[in-house]
Amino acid sequence: MTHRESLHKAAGNGLIHRRHLLGLGLGGLGVAAAGQVLGADQAMAFELPAWSRRPGPGPSRYGQRSPHTDHIGRLAGDPNPLYPGGGASRSPLHLLQGTITPNSLHFERHHAGVPAIDPAGHRLVINGMVRQPLAFSYEDLLAYPMVSRIHFLECSGNSGTLLGASPVDGTAQSIHGLVSGAEWTGIRLADLLAEAGVLEGASWVSAVGADGASMGRSIPLTKILDDVLVALYQNGEPLRPEQGYPMRLFVPGWEGNTSVKWLTHLKLGTAPSQFRDETSKYTDTLPDRSSLQFTFPMGCKSVITSPSGQMALVRRGLYQVTGIAWSGAGTIRRVEVSADGGASWADALLESHQSEKALTRFRIPWDWQGQDAILLSRAIDDRGNVQPDRNTILAERGNLSTYHYHGMQSWAVGTDGNVRNVYV
């Protein structure tokens, strides 16, 4: 029996048991692309490269990337002159690893571009149904107790193209790149509201940003008091301008644009404000032409980021199938992977560091010997939610609206090794 034959099969079409990722047997296999074999006399015969022969520049104040990684960037559509500053850019999921997205590569969605805010001239006003209206400067807020939480953020328009009639020839980035993960630090909004004093009967909070669109969203007070932050820091440093500097609302697990950026106004009342972006946008039209409004939590979801659309497998052998999973309802407990279009499934290995409403990295080894394959992943969270397939979503809500799509992504691998987006 060869070493390859001794691997524990976990599901059809080449999926290997995840325990082989834990140091129990991939070694000696040429796991992916074996290193170059050296002769005994060759082992130290490499010429010393130029960069090893002289000193380089010393420490710096603020580091930059290697020019050799400049190809890794967000993907933005062409500017629309009728919609200045509007649009989105998508995280390069297929080129990233782990669960934290660098701030420079976190996805963006703007309704009137990025305002250049001087924090000294910015105020956060809390009024409406409160005992005492208050205004906070940035400096005021910096002195408050804060909390740090690792969470995903996902635009509700993410992946919506998969409801289209025919599958686009896209990448993990172009189809799913409106999701990212970060450690957010800020003040519990409940603490600020306690200072203002919430009046009996208040049940909604309307949040407005200081951008040119005055983008606004209404959020139930129960969620605000549960876990909503006024976020000031992302991955340790102050927010970037495109993420809401100097402050944004952060609404864990809910659709991205409820986390209002450049937050300047919170008004308490008894009803939602019926802002543009909760009426004409971000609502889901159903087959009977009625609309679902306020679909807040993002669904239980996963996507395989490698191999993924427009990649090519260049040799036969063992690969690591990896991707990210998340759920607006809680913590990812399990991700299953199929290599045969859903006929059989195997559990992927989840990274050990997991937070509620955060990205979770999954991995599973896969032996590809040049055969056709369809790779799928399916996430399950700790509330029992299971990621549905595309057909289930189509049957339930049709495709008149493309928000809140959280169905499975299927990637076809051809005998030529090319990977493409397909429907199964």
Range 111-130, binding a copy of itself (CB under 8 A): 112-119, 121-127
Q: Which residues 9-28 are close enough to bind a copy of itself by CB under 8 A? A: 21, 23, 26-28
Q: Using the rule CB under 8 A, which residue among 10, 11, 17, 110 binds a copy of itself?
A: 110
Q: Which residues 300-359 are close enough to bind a copy of itself by CB under 8 A? A: 319-320, 322, 351-353, 355
Residue 185 binds a copy of itself (CB under 8 A): yes
Contact predicate 155/282, CB 8 Å? no
Instruction: State which residue, 85 or 160, has the beta carbon closest to a copy of itself.
Output: 85
Instruction: State which residue, 210 or 249, has the beta carbon closest to a copy of itself.
Output: 210
Instruction: State which residue, 62 or 290, has the beta carbon closest to a copy of itself.
Output: 62
Could you tell me which residues come within 8 angstroms of residue 7 by beta carbon, excluding any fewer than 6 positions away? 16, 17, 20, 25, 26, 29, 365, 367
Q: Using the rule CB under 8 A, which residue among 161, 190, 294, 422 binds a copy of itself?
A: 190
Q: Shortest gap between Cβ of 48 and a copy of itself (angstroms)?
A: 8
- Which residue, 368, 369, 397, 380, is CA-closest to 307? 368
Task: Classify residue 62 by burial, with Cβ atoms within 10 Å: 0-12, 13-18, 19+.
Answer: exposed
| Helix (H) or strand (E) segment spanning residue 306 | strand 301-306
- The DSSP-derived string for 172-211 is HHHHH-SEEEEEEEEEEHHHHHHHH-BPTT--EEEEEESS
* Paired tokens of 59: 């420490």
Q: Using the rule CB under 8 A, which residue among 12, 73, 341, 370 binds a copy of itself?
A: 73
Q: Using the rule CB under 8 A, which residue among 13, 264, 302, 409 binds a copy of itself?
A: 264
Residue 69 binds a copy of itself (CB under 8 A): yes
Q: Shortest gap between Cβ of 320 and a copy of itself (angstroms)?
A: 4
* Strand order from edge to edge, sheet including 301-306: 301-306, 317-326, 360-368, 349-350
Residue 63 binds a copy of itself (CB under 8 A): yes
Q: Shortest gap between Cβ of 100 and a copy of itself (angstroms)?
A: 5
* Site of tokens 């649009």: 87
Q: Shortest gap between Cβ of 241 and a copy of itself (angstroms)?
A: 5
* Paired tokens of 181: 């993960």
What are 76's strand-pairing partners?
89
Q: Which residues 200-259 are close enough to bind a copy of itself by CB under 8 A? A: 210-214, 232-233, 235-243, 245-246
Q: How many CB atoms within 10 Å of residue 151?
A: 24
Instruction: State which residue, 337 or 393, has the beta carbon closest to a copy of itself.
Output: 337
CA distance 378 to 389: 8
Half-sphere exposure of 369 (CA within 13 A, CB side): 6
β-bridge pairing 360-368 and 317-326: antiparallel
Q: Shortest gap between Cβ of 232 and a copy of itself (angstroms)?
A: 7
Instruction: State which residue, 186 or 272, has the beta carbon closest to a copy of itself.
Output: 186
What are 14's strand-pairing partners?
none
Q: Using the rule CB under 8 A, which residue among 4, 6, 8, 65 binds a copy of itself?
A: 65
Q: Shortest gap between Cβ of 184 and a copy of itself (angstroms)?
A: 8
Q: Using the rule CB under 8 A, which residue among 6, 104, 369, 392 binds a copy of itself?
A: 104
Q: Shortest gap between Cβ of 39 and a copy of itself (angstroms)?
A: 8
Q: Which residues 360-419 are close enough to bind a copy of itself by CB under 8 A? A: 361, 363, 365
Backbone angles phi, psi at 325, to 5 degrees: -135, 150
Please tell me whether residue 95 adopts helix, strand or coil conformation.
helix
CA distance 12 to 9: 8
Instruction: State which residue, 47 or 288, has the beta carbon closest to a copy of itself.
Output: 47
CA distance 217 to 296: 11
Q: Which range, of 133-141, 171-179, 372-380, 389-397, touches a copy of itself by CB under 8 A?
A: 133-141
Residue 82 binds a copy of itself (CB under 8 A): no
Q: Using the rule CB under 8 A, which residue among 4, 6, 8, 133 binds a copy of itself?
A: 133
Q: Which residues 21-60 are close enough to bind a copy of itself by CB under 8 A? A: 21, 23, 26-40, 42-44, 46, 49, 51-60
Residue 277 binds a copy of itself (CB under 8 A): no
Contact predicate 169/309, CB 8 Å? yes
